[in-house]
Amino acid sequence: MRVLVVEDDADLNRQLVAALKEAGYTVDTAADGEEGHFLGDTEPYDAVVLDIGLPHMDGISVLEKWRRDGRKMPVLILTARDRWSDKVQGIDAGADDYVAKPFHIEEVLARVRALVRRAAGHASNEIEIGPVRLDSRSGRVTVNGNPVKLTSHEYKVLEYLMHHRERVVSRTELIEHLYDQDFDRDSNTIEVFVGRLRKKVSPDLIETVRGLGYRIVAPQNAA
Ligand code: CA
């Protein structure tokens, strides 16, 4: 899952990025509204953390512009404390949720988690497909109750496919949602990760749809 953080306070930006990375997200970052708007306009994000008070273009304008242009990614806004008008304006502009400053980083993480999973149509942090269970809160994967040890890249691929189960996910989509801007997009690493997931988790969980990508089908829906 790939998240964009738009925050001009350098310390806060660093803290958010560190916490989100630690939680397993791929994170891009911007320190002003214009750059943030550009990234959200051109890159696919699974969630955005957007400060309201930003140089060059304020967060509300950034959000309004995205929504006007049909960008639907979930957006969590960061508002100043006691500025109820920020919250109202932000939600009217298309924010999905807000956190008031100062906040505990855990609250931001919990809200981002909820936004990502709701955007994928899930009410719970735990996704279960056949014997495989993935808990996006703890980052744990089990098969028939037995924990499976995955690298962070393997986990990201599995998490994305499980969130978007029943749908064919292309290699390009995986790369775009799992890596930041600087990643070499021509590499074959996705195939390598899928191969390892088949070995570690289950040989038939991830289906290859020739020429299109990968798909996870829940057993009751399998042909
Ligand atoms: Ca600010």
Range of the domain at 192: 126-216
Nearest to 72 by CA among 89, 49, 47, 97: 47
The reply to whether 222 falls in a domain is: no
How many domains, the chain? 2
Domain finish residue from 75, 102, 119? 119
98 and 132 in a single domain? The answer is no
Distance 155 CA to ligand 1 centre (A): 33
Same domain, 108 and 202: no
Quote the distance between the C-alpha of residue 37 and its chain's center.
17
In terms of domains, do 104 and 29 share one? yes
- Neighbouring-strand partners of residue 99: 78
For residue 202, the domain's CATH number is 1.10.10.10
Last residue within a domain, chosen from 70, 89, 119: 119
CB neighbours of 204 closer than 8 A, spacing ≥ 6? 198
Strand partners, 51: 78
Q: Which two tokens stand for residue 214?
A: 């990968």
Same domain, 87 and 150: no
- Please check whether residues 170 and 153 belong to one and the same domain: yes
202 and 108 assigned to the same domain = no
The predicted structure's pLDDT at residue 122: 79
The pTM assigned to this predicted structure is 0.83
Among the candidates 96, 119, 142, a domain finishes at 119
Residue 163 lies in a domain: yes
pLDDT, tens only, 27-40? 999 999 999 999 99
Ligand 1 center from residue 80 Cα (angstroms): 8
Residues in the chain, pLDDT under 70: 183, 185-187, 220-223
CA distances 216 to 73, 119, 146, 195, Å, are 23, 18, 20, 14
C-alpha 55 – ligand 1 centre gap (Å):
8
The CATH number given to whatever domain includes residue 12 is 3.40.50.2300
Cα 159 to averaged position of ligand 1 atoms, centre (Å): 32
Quick one: tokens of 41? 């306009």
CA of 52 to the centre of ligand 1 (A): 6
For the chain, what percentages of helix, strand and coil (3-state, to nearest 5) are there? 40, 20, 35
Instruction: Give Cα separations from 107 to 72, 113, 198 (angstroms).
Output: 22, 10, 34
Same domain, 106 and 13: yes
Give yes or no: residues 31 and 16 share one domain.
yes
pLDDT digits (tens, 9 = 90+) for 107-141: 999 999 999 988 888 778 899 999 999 998 889 99
